[in-house]
């Protein structure tokens, strides 16, 4: 039956879905709201480390200019 597509129904791909019957409903996984904080920090670190030196220097200069502007504002 494989040549007619029957192998897909009975093979590993057919076992992926939730079988019908009297099973309990799938309510999903519990939500971890702070689970992605580590991924966010990792992505930010990777982004900053991939920047050329000129962009990093410009970012530091803009950061300190922003601190001086905030100091004058308050």
Q: Burial of 39 by CB count in 10 Å (0-12 exposed, 13-18 middle, 19+ buried)?
A: exposed
Is 17 domain-assigned? no
Condensed to tens digits (0 to 9), the pLDDT of residues 12-62 reads 554 555 555 556 656 677 777 787 888 899 999 999 999 999 999 999 999
Answer whether residue 15 is part of any domain. no
Determine if the pTM surpasses 0.85. no
User: Residue 25: inside a domain, yes or no?
Assistant: no
Residue 58 resides in a domain:
yes
Length reported for the chain? 74
Domain limits for position 44:
36-74
12: left (phi over 0), alpha (psi -120 to 50) or beta: alpha
7 belongs to a structural domain:
no
Rounded to whole angstroms, the Cα distance separating 39 from 44 reads 9
Domain count, the chain: 1
Separation CA 73–CA 67 (nearest Å): 10
Q: Is residue 29 part of a domain?
A: no
């Amino acid at each position: 039956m494989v040549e007619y597509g029957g192998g897909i129904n009975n093979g590993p791909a057919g076992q992926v879905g939730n079988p019908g019957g009297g099973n309990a409903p799938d309510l999903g996984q519990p939500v971890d709201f702070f689970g992605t904080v580590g991924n966010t920090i990792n992505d930010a670190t990777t982004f900053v480390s991939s920047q050329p030196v000129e962009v990093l220097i410009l970012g530091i200069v803009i950061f300190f200019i922003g601190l001086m502007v905030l100091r004058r504002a308050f």
